[in-house]
Structure 1
Amino acid sequence: MLPFQKQVLTEVVTEDGLLIMSPGLGIFQILCHLVQVYSGGNHLILLINTSKEQDELLQEQLIANGVSSQHVIRHIEYNTPAEKRSSMYRESGIFSITSRILAVDMLLDRIPTLLINGIIVYNAHRPEAFVTGFAPLQNTMKSLFLRKVHLWPRFQITVSEDLAKTDNNVVELRQPMSESMDIIQQSLVQCMEETLAELRRANPSIDVGEFTIENSFFRSFDAIVRRQLDPIWHRVSSATKRLVSDLNVLRQLLGYLTTYDCVSFYSFIETIIASNSAQDGKQIMQSQWLLHESGDRAIRAARKRVYVKQGEKEFDELPERQDGSVIPGHIKLVLEEQPKWQLLKSILAEIEQDALQLNDGEGAPILIMVSEKRTCSQLKDYITRINEEEPFLNKIAHTFFRWRVNIHRMQTVEPVKQAPAPATMRGKPPPNKRRRVRGGSTSATSSGGRSMIMAETFRNDVIDNISALDDDITDEADQDGQDDEFHGVGPLADSYEIQYNQNDILSSFKEIPSTSLVTIQCYEDDANEQVLQDTQPRFIVLFDPNPAFVRQIEVYRAQHPTVDIRVYFLLYENSVEEQNYLSLIRKEKESFERLIHEKSIMAIPLPDKRKQRQEDDIILRPSTRIAGGQVKAVSGPQIVTVDMREFRSSLPPILYADGIQIEPFTLQVGDYILSPDMCVERKSIADLIQSFHSGRLYTQCEMMSVSYKTPILLIEFDENKSFSLQADIKENIRATDLSSKLVLLTLHFPKLRIIWSSSPHETAKIFSELKKAEPEPDSKIAACIGAEGNEDGDTIYNMTPQDILRSMPGINSTNYRFIMNHFEDLDELFHSNQQTLQELIGLEFGRKLYNFIHKKYTK
Structure 2
Amino acid sequence: MREKMYARGGIFSVTSRILVIDLLTSLLNPETLTGVMVLHAERVVATSLEAFILRIYRQRNKVGFLKAFSDNPEPFTTGFSPLATMIRNLFLRKPSLWPRFHLTVAQSLEGQEKAEVIELEIPMTDAMRDIQNAVLECVEVSMRELRKANTGLEMDDWNVDSALHKNFDVTVRRQLDPVWHRVSWRTKQIVNDLTVLRGILQYVLNYDAVSLRRYLETVLAAHAPPPGSNRQSQSPWLFLDAAHTIFETAKRRVYTGVGNDEGVQRGLPDGLRPVLEEQPKWAHLAEILEEIERDTYFNPPIRDDSNGAILVMCGDESTCRQLKEYLQTMHVRPENLEEGEGEQEDGPGARPSAAYMMRRKLRNYLKWKKDFAKVSASLFAENQKALKGSADFQRGSEAYRGKAPPNKRRRVRGGSIAASAPSRTADGSIQITEDQAPHVTELLAEVQPTETETKQKYEIAADPLEDMEDYYELYEINDLVIVHPYDGDMDEHILEELKPKYIIMYEPDAAFPRRVEVYRSSHSNRNVRVFLMFYAGSVEEQRYLSAVRKEKDAFAKLIKEKGTMSVTLTLDGKGAEEPQEKFLRTINTRIAGGGRLAATAEPPRVVVDVREFRSSLPSLLHGRNVVVVPCMLTVGDYILTPNICVERKSVKDLISSFKDGRLYNQVETMQLYYKNPMLLIEFDQNKSFTLEPFADMSGSVTSHTDLQSRLVLLTLAFPRLRIIWSSNPYQTAEIFEELKKNQDEPDPIKTVSIGLADGEDPADQTYNQTPLEMLRAVPGVNAKSAGALVLEVESIVELSNMEEEEVSALIGVEAGRQVNKFFNRSVFNE
**TM-score, normalised relative to structure 2:** 0.72
Deviation at 1:731, TM superposition (A): 5.5
Q: Structure 1 residue aligned with 2:295, among 354, 372, 376?
A: 354
Q: 1:571-650, aligned counterparts within 5 Å?
A: 571-609=534-572, 610=574, 617-622=583-588, 631-650=597-616
Give 1:86 shift.
Answer: 1.5
User: Is 1:333 matched up with 2:297?
Assistant: no
Q: What is the CA–CA distance in structure 2 between the aligned matches of 1:480 and 1:693, rounded to whole Å? A: 53
Where does residue 104 of structure 1 map in the other structure? 21
Native 8 Å contact 2:140 2:160 kept in 1: yes
User: What residue in structure 2 maps to residue 806 of structure 1?
Assistant: none
Indicate how the Cα distance of structure 1 residues 559 and 510 shifts in structure 2: closer, same or farther if over 3 A, else same: same
Letter in 2 for 1:396: K
User: 2:499: which partner in 1?
Assistant: 536
User: Deviation of residue 384 (structure 1)?
Assistant: 1.3
Correspondence list, 1:160-559, <5 A: 160-165=106-111, 166-279=113-226, 281=228, 285-310=233-258, 330-359=271-300, 364-390=308-334, 391=355, 392-414=357-379, 461-462=412-413, 500=464, 502=466, 504-506=467-469, 509-559=472-522
1:291-320: CA deviation from partner (whole Å, max 9, x where unpaired): 111111111111111122336889xx99xx
1:122 matched to 2:39? The reply is yes
1:210/1:224 contact within 8 Å kept: no
Q: 1:144 to 1:512 in 2, by over 3 A?
A: same
2:526 is matched with which residue: 539, 563, 576? Answer: 563
Aligned to 2:425: none
Pairing partner for 1:715 from 669, 677, 681:
681
Output the CA distance in 2 between the equivalents of 1:565 and 1:457.
57
Q: Does 1:137 align with 2:106?
A: no
Alpha-carbon distance in structure 2 between the residues aligned to 1:151 and 1:377 = 39
1-side partners of 2:455 and 2:653: how far apart? 46
Q: Give yes or no for contact 2:677–2:722 (8 Å, CA) kept in 1.
A: yes
Q: Which amino acid aligns with 1:398?
A: R
Change beyond 3 A, Cα 1:518–1:505:
same
Give the CA deviation at 1:685.
1.9
Task: Please state whether the residue corresponding to 2:566 is helix, strand or coil.
Answer: coil
The whole-number CA distance in structure 2 between the counterparts of 1:732 and 1:198 is 34
Aligned residue for 1:91? 8
Which stretch shifts more, 611-620 or 210-219?
611-620
What does the per-residue CA deviation read over 1:345-400, in whole Å, with 9 as the maximum and x for residues that have no partner? 11111111111112289994211111111111111111111111132111211222
Secondary structure of the residue that 1:369 maps to in structure 2?
strand
Shift of 1:693: 2.7
Equivalent in 755, 758, 770 of residue 727 of structure 2: 758
SS of residue in 1 equivalent to 2:12: strand
**Cα distance change of structure 1 residues 293 and 633 upon mapping to structure 2, 3 Å threshold:** same
1:219 deviates by: 2.6
Maintained 8 Å contact 2:165/2:546: no
Deviation track 1:258-284 (CA, whole Å, cap 9, x = no partner) reads: 111111111111011111223365569
Query: 2:616 matched to 1:684?
Result: no
Matched, 1:749 2:749: no
Q: Distance in 2 between matches of 1:707 and 1:782?
A: 10
- The total of aligned residue pairs comes to 643
Inter-CA distance 199–731: structure 2 relative to 1 (3 Å threshold): farther
Distance across 2 between alignment mates of 1:721 and 1:629: 47
Structure with the greater relative contact order (CA < 8 A, sep ≥ 6): 1 or 2?
A: 2
For the Cα contact (< 8 Å) 1:638–1:660, is it kept in 2? Answer: yes
- Kept in 1: contact 2:308–2:502 (CA 8 A): yes
Check the 8 A contact 1:641/1:664 in 2, yes or no. Answer: yes
Distance in 2 of aligned mates of 1:724 and 1:175: 50
Query: Residue 787 of structure 2 aligns with which residue?
Result: none
The correspondence of residues 50-69 of structure 1 with structure 2, limited to 5 A, is none
Q: Is this contact kept in 1: 2:379–2:409, CA < 8 A?
A: no
Could you tell me which runs of 5 or more consecutive residues in structure 2 were left unpaired when the two chains were aligned: 43-71, 335-354, 385-406, 418-452, 763-779, 785-830
C-alpha deviations, 1:702-747, integer Å up to 9, x for none? 222222221111111223123233x422467671322222212211
Measure, in 1, the Cα distance between the counterparts of 2:360 and 2:93.
61
Distance (Å, rounded) in 1 between the aligned partners of 2:519 and 2:582 = 60
8 Å CA contact 1:625–1:773 kept in 2: the answer is no
Structure-to-structure mapping, 1:683-832, within 5 angstroms: 683-725=649-691, 727-730=692-695, 735-788=704-757, 790=759
For the residue of structure 1 that corresponds to 2:41, the secondary structure is coil
| 1:409-451 deviations in Å (ceiling 9; x for gaps) | 33321578699xxxxxxxxxxxxxxxxxxxxxxxxxxxxxxxx
C-alpha offsets along residues 473-518 of structure 1, whole Å, 9 cap, x if unaligned? xxxxx998678689xxxxxxxxxxx99464x521764332222111
Indicate yes or no: 2:609 matched with 1:665.
no
Distance 1:792 1:737, change over 3 A: closer
Does structure 1 retain, via aligned residues, the 8 Å contact 2:372–2:415?
Answer: no
Mapped partners of 1:754, 1:373: distance in 2: 46
CA RMSD of aligned residues (A): 3.4
- Residue in structure 1 matched with residue 389 of structure 2 by the alignment: none
Find the aligned partners of 2:19 and 2:673 in 1 and give their Cα distance: 30
Q: Which amino acid aligns with 1:596?
A: I
Query: Unaligned 5+ residue runs, structure 1?
Result: 1-83, 319-327, 420-455, 467-477, 487-497, 794-808, 814-859
Task: Note the C-alpha offset of 1:647.
Answer: 0.5
% same residue: 40
Does the C-alpha gap of structure 1 residues 500 and 234 become closer, same or farther in structure 2, counting only changes over 3 Å? Answer: closer
Q: 1:520 to 1:724 in 2, by over 3 A?
A: same
Higher deviation after alignment, 398-407 or 275-284: 275-284
Q: Measure how far apart 1:103 and its partner are.
A: 1.3
Counterpart for residue 104 of structure 2: 158
Residue 158 of structure 1 and its aligned partner are, at CA, apart by: 1.5
CA distance in 1, matches of 2:176, 2:628: 35
Distance, in Å, in 2 between the alignment partners of 1:261 and 1:601 is: 51
